[in-house]
């Protein structure tokens, strides 16, 4: 193998090998529009930019690179709030027995509504950004919020959650242990779990969360239309439990079932649970155990979300598991761009798709992978910078001190 990351060519862009049925059912365009109508009522809510990097595209030999910059999503620096807030909205409609209505944000924050929601407590586990988004949504809606983090979660991430009034519990073990503890305590105390990952018997809320993410993709499609681009030809998307990747892959597969973009799903090699599940070849989810020790904190998940996995298994084309240095290089490229390209502040989990694209276009890679990717001057590559500088100390270590350098054999020689 020439490259230092693992890959699986799954569907190879061959539409006949795909099955968008579940994607069409989970991601109807009407749901994305409903989520967008809700999001647009949030005070201060704005569309995030779709950033074009034309000079980098030329350097890499592709037609265009477009980065949906979620570092600028509200004050939260991450896309995650799109899912959490929409799921809370749908859950409140259910608790209030008004599922067939569209309630306004103003009503949901009113005293009358608050009185009806007396005693409602929301809770979730997080590896950082989902908890921050959920805590923020609960603060907006005046609801108590309990967030569970694992022992390796950095202090700045915990403080960012607590700042929005949530009670934070640190759990021994990894992210998956925090998920289990949150579910157990919720059951004991009668709290509502608003988890971004699903498990057997717990699917409704994770579905709403994934549908909430598609509001961001509606924005992107509107922005592409403004550029005269009907759809991207390639989508590079990062995965933790896979919910966000499934929403991207599912949204585009439902919208363009006969001619979807080519999807590349990217994970850290130390927490590649989707990759390992595909590699197992039995169509089922498989877990990755251990400390999941990667700088990509948002992607450090060992258990795939079964709901998300189905969508990825049935529609994605290439799965890659990359080392941390690929994400670190992505952060540096986005933060210190070529002359004429705009700067994008990107955190570890946000930058890994760009780092992967860069590696695929510049490092020596295996011929079968190169052929499967079909990247050329006609390619319009889309990715989401899912987070900005969400962990300032780690961000400085990587950008300023050169932590996780590119291995010598892949460095620029000219
Ligand atoms: C910044 C960031 N990017 C991507 C993801 C991946 O999302 P998912 O766990 O749905 O795969 C996360 C998850 O927390 C995240 O925080």
Tens of pLDDT along the chain (414 residues) come to 567 889 999 988 889 999 999 999 999 999 999 999 999 999 999 999 999 999 999 999 999 999 999 999 998 899 999 999 999 999 999 999 999 999 999 999 999 999 999 999 999 999 878 999 999 999 999 999 999 999 989 999 999 999 999 999 999 999 999 999 999 999 999 999 999 999 999 999 999 999 999 999 999 999 999 999 999 999 999 999 999 999 999 999 999 999 999 999 999 999 999 999 999 999 999 999 988 999 999 999 999 999 999 999 999 999 999 999 999 999 999 999 999 999 999 999 999 999 999 999 998 888 899 899 999 999 999 999 999 999 999 999 999 999 999 999 888 876
CA of 297 to the centre of ligand 1 (A): 8
Does the active-site annotation cover 127? Answer: yes
Contact (CB, 8 A) for 268 and 299: yes
Cα dist from 266 to 9, 68, 273, 349, whole Å:
12, 16, 11, 10
User: Candidates 176, 238, 300: which one to mutate for ligand 1, based on the most atoms within 8 Å of Cβ?
Assistant: 238
CA of 382 to the centre of ligand 1 (A): 17
CA of 113 to the centre of ligand 1 (A): 31
- The reported pTM is 0.96
Domains 6-79+205-410 and 81-202 are alike in CATH topology:
yes
Which residue has the least CA distance to atom 10 on ligand 1? Answer: 243
Secondary structure element (H or E) that encloses residue 234, with its range: strand 234-238
- Catalytic, out of 18, 34, 127, 146: 127
Which residue has the least CA distance to atom 16 on ligand 1? Answer: 298
Contact (CB, 8 A) for 182 and 291: no
Which residue has the least CA distance to atom 2 on ligand 1? Answer: 298
Question: Which residues line ligand 1 at a C-beta cut-off of 6 Å?
Answer: 78, 80, 127-130, 196, 238-245, 298-299, 301, 349-350, 386-387
Q: Quick: pLDDT tens for 320-333.
A: 999 999 999 999 99
- For 81-202, CATH gives 3.40.50.1100
Which residue has the least CA distance to atom 15 on ligand 1? Answer: 298
Is domain 6-79+205-410 in CATH 3.40.50.1100, yes or no? yes
- Catalytic, out of 80, 176, 324, 391: 80
Per-residue 3-state assignment (H helix, E strand, C coil) for the chain = CCCCCEEEECCCCCHHHCCCHHHHHHCCHHHHHHHHHHHHCCCCCCCCCEEECHHHHHHHCCCEEEEEEHHHCCCCCECCHHHHHHHHHHHHHHHCCCCCCCCCHHHHCCHHHHHHCCCCCEEEECCCHHHHHHHHHHHHHCCCEEEEEECCCCHHHHHHHHCCCCEEEEECCCHHHHHHHHHHHHHHHCCEECCCCCECCECHHHHHHHHHHHHHHHHHHHHHHHCCCCCCCEEEEECCCCHHHHHHHHHHHHHCCCCCCEEEEEEECCCCHHHHHHHHCCCCCCCCCCCCCCCCHHHCCCCCCHHHHHHHHHHCCEEEEECHHHHHHHHHHHHCCCCCCCCCCCCHHHHHHHHHHHHHHHCCCCHHHHHHHCCCCCCEEEEEECECCCCHHHHHHHHCCCCCCCCHHHCCCC
**Of 272, 338, 408, 322, whose CA–CA distance to 65 is shortest?**
338
Q: What residue spans define the domains of the chain?
A: 6-79+205-410, 81-202
CA of 239 to the centre of ligand 1 (A): 6
């Amino acid at each position: 193998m020439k490259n230092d990351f693992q890959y699986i060519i799954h569907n190879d862009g061959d539409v006949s090998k795909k099955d968008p049925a579940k994607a069409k059912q989970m991601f109807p365009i009407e749901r994305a529009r409903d989520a967008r109508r809700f999001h647009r009522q949030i005070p201060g809510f704005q569309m995030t930019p779709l950033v074009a990097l034309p000079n980098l595209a030329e350097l890499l030999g592709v037609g265009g690179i477009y980065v949906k910059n979620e570092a600028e999503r509200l004050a939260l620096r991450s896309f995650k709030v799109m899912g959490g807030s929409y799921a809370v909205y749908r859950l409140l409609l259910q608790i209030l027995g008004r599922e067939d209505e569209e309630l306004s944000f103003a009503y949901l924050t009113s005293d009358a509504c608050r009185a009806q929601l007396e005693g409602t407590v929301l809770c979730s586990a997080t590896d950082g950004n989902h908890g921050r988004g959920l805590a923020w949504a609960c603060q907006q809606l005046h609801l108590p919020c309990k967030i569970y983090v694992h022992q390796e979660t950095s202090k700045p991430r915990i403080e960012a959650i607590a700042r929005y009034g949530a009670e934070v519990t640190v759990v021994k073990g990894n992210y998956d242990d925090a998920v289990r503890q949150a579910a157990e305590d919720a059951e004991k105390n009668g709290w509502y779990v608003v988890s971004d990952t699903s498990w057997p018997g717990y699917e409704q809320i994770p579905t709403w969360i994934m549908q909430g993410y598609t509001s961001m993709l509606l924005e992107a499609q509107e922005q592409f239309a403004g550029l005269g681009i009907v759809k991207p030809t390639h989508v590079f998307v990062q995965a933790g439990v896979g919910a966000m990747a499934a929403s991207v892959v599912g949204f585009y597969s439902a919208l363009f079932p006969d001619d979807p973009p080519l999807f590349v799903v990217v994970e850290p090699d130390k927490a590649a649970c989707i990759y390992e599940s595909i590699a197992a070849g039995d169509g089922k989810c498989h877990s990755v155990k251990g400390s999941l020790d990667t700088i990509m904190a948002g992607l450090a998940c060992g258990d795939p979300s079964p709901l998300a996995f189905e969508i990825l298994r049935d529609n994605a084309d290439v799965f890659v598991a990359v080392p941390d240095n690929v994400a670190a290089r992505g952060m540096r490229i986005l933060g210190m761009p070529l002359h004429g390209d705009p700067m994008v502040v990107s955190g570890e989990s946000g930058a890994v798709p760009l780092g992967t694209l860069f590696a695929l276009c510049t490092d020596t890679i295996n011929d079968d992978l190169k052929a499967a990717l079909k990247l050329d001057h006609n390619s319009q590559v889309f990715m989401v910078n899912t987070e900005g500088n969400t962990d300032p100390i780690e961000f400085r270590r990587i950008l300023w001190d050169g932590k996780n350098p590119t291995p010598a054999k892949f460095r620029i020689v000219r």
